[in-house]
């Protein structure tokens, strides 16, 4: 489905009309994948649009840039403000927010240090990433034959544009085989995450997710899920997971800004089943929190 367009895109400090937000074909990042980006969501609340954990996302953007020695020519406060300005300028209440820092036009070759650094922020309405049906009844997943990056090859701690070629290999393999999404193992064969989501299982009432050292991105939604579960009195742990732990789990779900909290009903043709009670409870609290309906989590909302 084509992206639903909005009015304005923020480019290097200016709001430009959507159709004029263009870059040169010799943009460094287009050739070498040398950008960093974020995926954030704004939700409609009683007090107007609010961006969910915006500052935490922008902090991760700056950490990703640091890993790749990219000097962002703005402060994090300026980028936070620019995201809010872009949401306001487009008069959208609930939307996806995509800030990207990329190396621009002017230098070629693999030394990125000489290239100009550009920043853009676009927003658009984006529905359930893995489908409405997936949100309510769960998705079917496949363990990919493609492994997640080793931290000493490409750091999973960063959200770099080029890294997503690995996710796309896994995604295409899963889709062509008739599944909705892929789960990726790390080079040691332990569960890392999905192509754009972190993963959780429920076993004997405990919630378990792979540690970041298994090659998972430091997900903001992952952190929110862990906080919500702890506040519900659930035992929450990081732990190494084998693929068979997924097959035999009581419940499985994936989470991320785009996918929100999506239950998994089948993995490699082993049935996990319809969304279980803990998955449903966490979904319920999460969706209430993002809409500003849970006082306890109001600090997660940054009003525009």
Cβ(64)–Cβ(159) below 8 Å: yes
Report in angstroms how near the CB of residue 175 gets to ligand PMP at its nearest: 17
Cβ(225)–Cβ(214) below 8 Å: no
Stretch that binds ligand PMP, among 203-211, 214-222, 262-270, 281-289 (CB under 6 A): 214-222
What is the SS3 string spanning 113-143? HHCCEEEEEEEECCCCCCCHHHHHHCEEEEE
Residue nearer to ligand PMP on the CB measure, 84 or 98: 98
Stretch that binds ligand PMP, among 189-197, 202-210, 264-272, 273-281 (CB under 6 A): 189-197
By CB under 6 A, what part of segment 132-161 binds ligand PMP?
159
By CB under 6 A, what part of segment 217-246 binds ligand PMP?
217, 219-222
Report in angstroms how near the CB of residue 187 gets to ligand PMP at its nearest: 16
| Residue 283 touching ligand PMP (CB under 6 A) | no
Report in angstroms how near the CB of residue 146 gets to ligand PMP at its nearest: 13
Within 10 Å of residue 238's Cβ, how many Cβ atoms? Answer: 15
The 31-70 site mask, x for binding ligand PMP (CB under 6 A), equals: --------x-------------------------------
Stretch that binds ligand PMP, among 63-71, 212-220, 267-275, 279-287 (CB under 6 A): 212-220
Q: In the set 35, 104, 196, 292, which binds ligand PMP (CB under 6 A)?
A: 196
Residue of 47, 159, 171, 280 with catalytic role: 159
Residue nearer to ligand PMP on the CB measure, 104 or 134: 134
Report in angstroms how near the CB of residue 169 gets to ligand PMP at its nearest: 13
Stretch that binds ligand PMP, among 12-20, 204-212, 213-221, 268-276 (CB under 6 A): 213-221
Residue 159 annotated among the catalytic residues of the structure: yes
Residues in contact with 54: Cβ distance below 8 Å, sequence separation at least 6, in sequence order: 40, 80, 83, 84, 97, 302
| Residue 99 touching ligand PMP (CB under 6 A) | no
| Residue 257 touching ligand PMP (CB under 6 A) | yes
Catalytic positions are 159
Q: Which residues bind ligand PMP (CB under 6 A)?
A: 39, 159, 193, 196-198, 217, 219-222, 256-257
């Amino acid at each position: 489905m084509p992206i639903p367009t909005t009015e304005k895109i923020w480019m290097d400090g200016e709001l430009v009309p959507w159709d004029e937000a263009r870059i040169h074909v010799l943009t460094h990042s287009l050739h070498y994948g040398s950008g960093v980006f974020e995926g954030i969501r704004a939700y409609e609340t009683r007090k107007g649009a609010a961006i969910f954990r915006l500052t935490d996302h922008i902090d991760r953007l700056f950490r990703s840039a640091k890993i790749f020695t990219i000097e962002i020519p703005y402060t994090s406060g300026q980028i936070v403000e620019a995201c809010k300005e872009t949401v306001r300028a487009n008069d959208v209440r609930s939307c996806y927010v995509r800030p990207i820092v990329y190396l621009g036009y002017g230098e070629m070759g693999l030394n990125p240090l000489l290239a100009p650094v550009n920043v853009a922020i676009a927003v658009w309405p984006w529905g359930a990433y893995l489908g409405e049906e997936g949100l309510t009844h769960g998705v079917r997943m496949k363990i990919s034959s493609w492994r997640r990056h080793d931290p000493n090859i490409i750091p999973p701690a960063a959200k770099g544009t080029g890294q997503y070629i690995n996710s796309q290999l896994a995604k295409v393999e899963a889709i062509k085989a008739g599944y909705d999404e892929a789960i990726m193992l790390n080079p040691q064969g332990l569960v890392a995450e999905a192509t754009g989501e972190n993963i959780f299982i429920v076993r004997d009432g405990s919630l378990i997710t792979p540690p970041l050292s298994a090659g998972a991105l430091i997900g903001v939604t992952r952190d929110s899920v862990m906080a919500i579960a702890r506040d519900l009195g659930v035992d929450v742990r990081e732990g190494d997971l084998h693929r068979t732990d997924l097959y035999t789990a009581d419940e499985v779900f994936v989470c991320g800004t785009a996918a929100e909290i999506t239950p998994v009903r089948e993995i490699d043709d082993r049935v996990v089943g319809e969304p279980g009670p803990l998955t449903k409870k966490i979904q319920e609290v999460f969706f209430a929190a993002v809409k500003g309906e849970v006082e306890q989590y109001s600090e997660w909302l940054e009003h525009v």
